[in-house]
Structure 1
Amino acid sequence: MSQKISLLLLSAVAHAAVVPLSGAVLRYRAHASRSVLASYGLGFLRVLRRTYEFEGWEGLFKGVIPTFLGVLIFRGSLMLVKVHPTFPLMVMAAPQINLIESPFFILISSMIEVPAQIVLVRTTLTNYKIPWYNPILALRLLFSPSERQSPWIIYLTPGLMLSLFLQYAMQFFVIRLSFLLGSTIWNNWSLYETQFSSPSMFGLFVILGMLGISLAFLAYTVLLTPLKVICTRLAQQRNWITHEGDQFSEADEAEVYGLSVYSVEETVCIHDASEPYSGFIDCYHRIVEQEGWRALYRGWWYSIASQAVLLLLWMS
């Protein structure tokens, strides 16, 4: 048990250590360009540099606390049901859960991810210094009065639940299909081997098969990127219940409690809150129309790198 706790803490520290990179990717994806031409003016490296110039090291590590706590809470909860802290839950669940049960598993996973995604995105994008030593005040800054009064309305954030559901659904079915193909090949290994006249030809067949699987993995990871971009844009939007005195903005909250800002300069341009996305499809169309389809693939390389690193860590 002590070894698992050590691995859990190590995993949380590892995720927290890469927050400057993951946070820069998140800002890059959240950047709402005013035009297609402006979309090319702010790349990942420039976002990373601007974050350091405007907010310093404190700004680069803005999302470290929700990231660290998120890993401890989620992976720690899985340990209670005998899941190893470094074992990817989706890799374990996808081959075992049947297709009838899969929608419920994907739905529950999405529901768990909604508050975690909202906290991480808003923490990273806010220009105010969040007082994590005072959790109540931190939550006041991150959530609107309506969301604090009726927490369930965060699940009504237009399009957010759908974008997360699609991400988990794609992961589930790709992993399930991979295990199905892998088990079929493994069970018939001797039959495949007899079809080749020489060991070298069989070796070439194995190499080509592994290459094909790797390319399929890369393609699937890149296809997830538009969903992650849309999810980031939607998670930053606050929810309101229309009645007098409810429209109390983040700036109003910060002013009341005297919270300081990182910089008067904006690292990235956040989508105008007065013109919120009305849902998943609206977000997709407006990104393509205003910023070009390439904006949907911001940070595609990070998706590949992060998935590959997690896979290698798990295998090791």
Structure 2
Amino acid sequence: MIYILIIVTLLFPLKGALIRWRANFTPKVQPVPELPLVDDASQPRSLLGMLQRVNAEEGIDGLYKGILPTLGFVLFWKQVMPLPSIAVIGYLHFGVYDQNAVLIIAIASPIKIIATVIEAVFVNRAVTTREDIPSFSLRRALDALLSSTERRHPYRIFIILGLLAACTSWVLYIVGTIGARHFLFVKQFSSTFGDWENVKPLLPLLVGAVIFSFILNALVLTPLEVIMVRLSIQAKATPVTLLLDTPPAEAVGPIRIDKDEYTGLISCARLVIQEEGWGALYRGWWWTGFRGLLFI
């Protein structure tokens, strides 16, 4: 477990920069006359560009902003609630498809969806908010990450417009593709994996399957993850100051005003394409594609 935490800690600056890059609003044209014009030349155009910008403006503190909620969720899934993920992956890959397997998957998937919504809200907001997140004061941290309405009624994070739908789609895609891989590859070739002579003719097919999975993950999961970031950082009642930890006048991009808020999964995708172009929906596609190979 300690090795997992070390790896997560080492890779976190990349994850934090990716979340900021996906959250950054960079319209192709000036969408609202009242907002200041965006200096196109100053906008980070890549994950590396965002990483360098954060490091230059905020230093090590900025690179590791949001690390504590991230490590907390890693511990939650690995120590407190490992069963849902293990059950889904275990049964879909190696289990017998009977009523018990279906029941376990039916129970585990909603738990995964609920945890994904909570993780998206807390981790994405912790990374993107300008407010300082105290390490040893849970109440002050919640004040910084949740709106007053959400603090009074925590269930409201589950009715953030479109977020539950995006997280559900994300989880169902993972569960569905793991099941498809089991039926198409693991189940068909499991008897030949121990014999190199029998496996060798199948290598082109297996390589093709890996490449296909990479492309499919990038095409499907990346827009969902961008949408999850955008939706999760929208507060329910009071505006949350987002993006880089700089004064509002020097923010990386303009902050969306109320009438421009995303009102759902489809609305978010449509507005991102309309205002920022298709490229904004595919920020970090290679990251998602490679990471997806670990569970798809």
Shorter-chain TM range is: 0.7 to 0.9
Q: How many residues align?
A: 273
Per-residue deviation at 1:181? 1.9
User: Which residue is 1:283 aligned to?
Assistant: 268
SS at match of 1:162: helix
Code of the residue aligned with 2:262 in structure 1: it is: Y
TM-align CA RMSD:
2.9
What is residue 11 of structure 1 aligned with on the other side? Answer: 4
Which string of whole-angstrom CA distances, capped at 9 and with x for unpartnered residues, describes residues 64-88 of structure 1?
1111111112211135x5x9xxx86
Per-residue Cα deviation, 1:176-222 (whole angstroms, up to 9, x for no partner): 111112244236649xx9xxxxx6xx666312111121112202221
Question: Are 1:161 and 2:164 an aligned pair?
Answer: yes
State how far apart, in whole Å, the 2-side matches of 1:106 and 1:47 are.
34
CA apart distance, 1:105: 3.2
Q: Does 1:205 align with 2:188?
A: no
Q: Deviations over 1:26-54 (max 9, x none)?
A: 11111111217959863222211111111
Once residues 134 and 291 of structure 2 are traced to their aligned partners in structure 1, the CA distance between those partners, rounded to angstroms, is 29
Residues 31 and 271 of structure 1 are in contact (CA less than 8 Å); yes or no, is this contact kept in structure 2?
no
Q: How far apart are 1:92 and its partner, in Å?
A: 1.9
Task: Tell me which residue corresponds to 2:236.
Answer: 239
Q: Which residue of 1 aligns with 2:133?
A: 130
Does structure 1 conserve the Cα–Cα contact (< 8 Å) formed by 2:214 and 2:290?
A: no
Q: TM-score, normalised by structure 2?
A: 0.82
* Amino acid across the alignment from 2:179: R
How big is each residue's C-alpha offset from its partner over 1:264-284, in whole Å with a ceiling of 9 and x where there is no partner?
Answer: 232455443553111111101
Equivalent position of 1:298 in the other structure: 283
Of 34, 54, 57, which aligns to 2:27? 34
Which residue number in structure 2 is paired with residue 225 of structure 1? 222
Which residue of structure 1 lines up, in the alignment, with residue 189 of structure 2?
186
Aligned-residue offset at 1:132: 1.8
**In the superposition, relative to structure 1, how do residues 89 and 235 fare at CA in structure 2: closer, same or farther (>3 Å)?**
farther
Amino acid at match of 1:185: Q
Question: 1:225 touches 1:297 (CA, 8 Å); kept in 2?
Answer: yes
Q: Which runs of 5+ in 1 are unaligned?
A: 1-7, 194-198, 241-246, 252-260, 312-316
Q: Give matches, 1:76-155, under 5 Å.
A: 76-78=79-81, 90-95=88-93, 96=95, 98=101, 102-155=105-158
Pair 1:57-2:50 in alignment: no
Equivalent residue in structure 1 for 2:47, among 44, 56, 68:
44
Structure 1 residues 89 and 28: CA distance shift in structure 2, 3 A: farther
Over alpha carbons, which structure has the higher Rg? 1
Find 2:179's aligned residue among 169, 176, 192.
176
Aligned partners of 1:54 and 1:267 also within 8 Å: no
Task: Say yes or no: does 1:214 pair with 2:210.
Answer: yes
When normalised by structure 1's length, the TM-score is: 0.77
Contact 1:13/1:68, CA 8 A, preserved across alignment: no
* One-letter amino acid of the counterpart of residue 215, structure 1: I
Is the 8 Å Cα contact of residues 110 and 164 (structure 1) preserved in structure 2? Answer: yes
Is the contact made by 2:222 and 2:283 (CA closer than 8 Å) also made in structure 1? yes
**Which residue of 1 is the match for residue 246 of structure 2?**
263
Q: Percent identity?
A: 24
1: CA distance, partners of 2:24 / 2:124: 12
Check if 1:69 corresponds to 2:72: yes
Q: 2:33 matched to which residue of 1?
A: none
1:299 and 1:32 map into 2 onto residues whose CA distance is 15
- Once residues 15 and 55 of structure 2 are traced to their aligned partners in structure 1, the CA distance between those partners, rounded to angstroms, is 14
Paired with 2:61 and 2:290, the residues of 1 have a C-alpha distance of: 25
8 Å Cα contact 2:88-2:109 kept in structure 1:
no
Q: 1:20 aligns with which of 3, 8, 13?
A: 13
Question: Cα distance 1:250–1:117, how it changes in 2: closer, same or farther (>3 A)?
Answer: same
